[in-house]
Structure 1
């Protein structure tokens, strides 16, 4: 028996190294338990761990802090090697209990109240789910219920959420505040807006009502023209008005307010053919073609602020005079084609003839007189009339160009929007569709002349250099040219409401010249009624 007692006493002496009093561990010392998994280094009192100490486990886990009568009680720090967590706070009988902060392996941090090693009571959890996202939870009840309030904060865009959270998702009532200014206050389900809620969108659109799976229960999907009578037939310079409604797929009016709508006009897109003068310039076109249900178009100036430069009577008078000139020019062309196989004059002869005659062709009467004086006009003469004589009018064309302000966008009121006194403005200089159309027309005319050239005398001039038709030299265009235009009403709300834009509405406009009686002037030696 004595040998066994000595052996135990020797083992105890080897397991403890430190201060003693009355043969008991007292003061500071290190003790290795029989189960070598544990080791204690710190303060002792009458053989019991008491005061500040550090309990180390063989796997690397350790606690360092206060000990009271052999138990872990008070404030301390615990590192778990298996979970790689770090806790700093209060302990009770070896368990995390009271106020404390836990740093998790994934970088999340919980700071709040604990109850027997579990988050319980008030606290916040910052969860770093990605490199940029942080979620802050607010625990009001036991974590066992798996339902608690929280605050969500996204560092990448500044979004914040305050509300209820169930099974790691927004569930119940909450408020979402987005960095772009959008805010939503209402019910959530599985992270979606679901139930009664109110949204103030960053674009200015306001919606309060029922939400289903993230979208309003009643939501507009398209723009509809009211009283659409396509095509809309208008005369040059005639203003018009349009009215639209925002509707859903069931064709019901949706009372959206503050949705921004824009109205634009377009003319058919003409693509330059390879080899044409404009083919190499196509890349410089800033306005790209816009697809429509009819054909692709390029923007055409539309305005609601055209100045009243002429009265209606003045416009009619100008139109009548233009029509008369055009008719006379057509008659002149008939005379040319009738005599083209009889004789031709070279450009130098034409120049000399015009200088000697000292005649002007600024009016229809003068042109008629001049054509009568020239008994054998040629294609070259017609070309000269077109290209050389109007040179004195070039000064007027310098101040022709005038840009008109485009139509402003308008917000909807209860799902309705209206524009008044719209008008197609005069075409801008070198408007590409018109230029390409004219170029192709001239090319077709030249090909036709070359075909006719085979039947002409050998001493005829080179017709391919000159057009065969007298073209009216365009002065200032104060009205849009007759033709077909496409009107487009589109949703330009920015940012788009719920990430969607409404389907546009389209209207075909047929622009015609005012209906006027054309009076043809009778010329000497011509029995035909003009």
Structure 2
């Protein structure tokens, strides 16, 4: 390595200097040959800028990796230690109190807008008591987690007032009390009503996990044929089913209170529970229509005329 900077009478690096080689460079302060105090280090494209102590990251600093991962916070002997925030290469953000490189307690913000607060174990697993806001379901769970799953006593609250309170196992609601608010209807039930006793039938009410209320046809204990599913969060699906999934023609209504899809409607084909095939999509917020496969063909005016004609 080459060194450019200040030295003492014993030729030890001290004061401001630069130490570099083909894959390494440090610019900053030295004391007794080691980086000490503030400096910037680049090693194999990994960049650290912050405080050093006897050559190790110690105190506040920012560590950036080539894959996009960034940590901002406190270090102790090269380890994340104390208050800090890590932005993962997948886009999730982990912030809270760290101990020797492990996040013990804090907050995880996911790329889809969901977030979790509570106790955390190795590999950022949710374990113990905590709360998580679910963006897609528009609700929050408060209670016990085990290996990232809702497990033990807990309560799931939807923003429309629906509530599931009781015992959970591996993310599924098993036993407790339910208060469902769907459109202008309310249901107060206990876990004795949760058991699936319907094997085949038409126009029957049936609860499916913690998601909501189903009314329609069954085959071999699964939703098959025509049926209406009113979700606990306010969304509604009306159409064809196959083995508990949307399959064929149907209409999906997003609840009016949805943050981004306020009152949007999709009318078309479904494959294995997803919008897939030919259909039309009404963007209620922008007052625009989409027509085509997977509503990617945005022929607004033509579709508007078609919808107006069909609606007469």
| DSSP-derived class of the 1:201 partner | strand
Work out whether residues 111 and 123 of structure 1, in 8 Å CA contact, stay in contact via their aligned partners in 2. yes
1:164 aligns with 2:144: yes
Work out whether residues 115 and 134 of structure 2, in 8 Å CA contact, stay in contact via their aligned partners in 1. yes
Work out whether residues 125 and 148 of structure 2, in 8 Å CA contact, stay in contact via their aligned partners in 1. no
Match of 1:69 among 41, 44, 54: 54
1:199 aligns with 2:178: yes
Equivalent residue number for residue 90 of structure 1: 74
Match of 2:12 among 2, 18, 24: 24
Q: Deviation per CA, 1:341-382, whole angstroms, max 9, x where unpaired?
A: xxxxxxxxxxxxxxxxxxxxxxxxxxxxxxxxxxxxxxxxxx
In 2, Cα distance between equivalents of 1:75 and 1:496: 47
Q: CA deviation at 1:117?
A: 1.8
Q: How does 1:481-500 map to 2 (within 5 A)?
A: none
Match of 2:131 among 133, 146, 151: 151
Which 5+ residue runs of structure 1 have no aligned equivalent?
1-11, 222-246, 250-258, 260-492, 502-530
Write 1 or 2 for the structure with the bigger share of strand.
2
Q: 1:189 to 1:157 in 2, by over 3 A?
A: closer
Q: 1:219 to 1:159 in 2, by over 3 A?
A: farther
Q: CA deviation at 1:103?
A: 0.7
Q: CA deviation at 1:21?
A: 2.9
Write 1 or 2 for the structure with the bigger share of helix.
1
Q: 1:76 to 1:124 in 2, by over 3 A?
A: same
Q: Taking structure 2 as the reference length, what is the TM-score of the superposition?
A: 0.57
Equivalent residue number for residue 48 of structure 1: 34
Size of the aligned set, in residue pairs, is 211
Work out whether residues 126 and 149 of structure 2, in 8 Å CA contact, stay in contact via their aligned partners in 1. no
| DSSP-derived class of the 1:173 partner | strand
Q: CA deviation at 1:186?
A: 1.2
Equivalent residue number for residue 295 of structure 2: none
Which 5+ residue runs of structure 2 have no aligned equivalent?
207-212, 214-227, 239-312
Task: Report which of the two structures shows the higher radius of gyration computed on alpha carbons.
Answer: 1
Work out whether residues 102 and 121 of structure 2, in 8 Å CA contact, stay in contact via their aligned partners in 1. no
In 2, Cα distance between equivalents of 1:127 and 1:24: 48
Q: How does 1:95-174 map to 2 (within 5 A)?
A: 95-120=79-104, 122-128=105-111, 132-139=112-119, 147-156=127-136, 158-174=138-154
Work out whether residues 118 and 126 of structure 2, in 8 Å CA contact, stay in contact via their aligned partners in 1. no
Work out whether residues 103 and 124 of structure 2, in 8 Å CA contact, stay in contact via their aligned partners in 1. no
In 1, Cα distance between equivalents of 2:128 and 2:68: 25
Q: Deviation per CA, 1:232-273, whole angstroms, max 9, x where unpaired?
A: xxxxxxxxxxxxxxx999xxxxxxxxx9xxxxxxxxxxxxxx
Equivalent residue number for residue 489 of structure 1: none
| DSSP-derived class of the 1:138 partner | strand
Work out whether residues 205 and 497 of structure 1, in 8 Å CA contact, stay in contact via their aligned partners in 2. no
| DSSP-derived class of the 2:7 partner | strand
Q: 1:37 to 1:105 in 2, by over 3 A?
A: same
Q: 1:91 to 1:496 in 2, by over 3 A?
A: closer
| DSSP-derived class of the 1:124 partner | strand
Q: CA deviation at 1:101?
A: 0.6
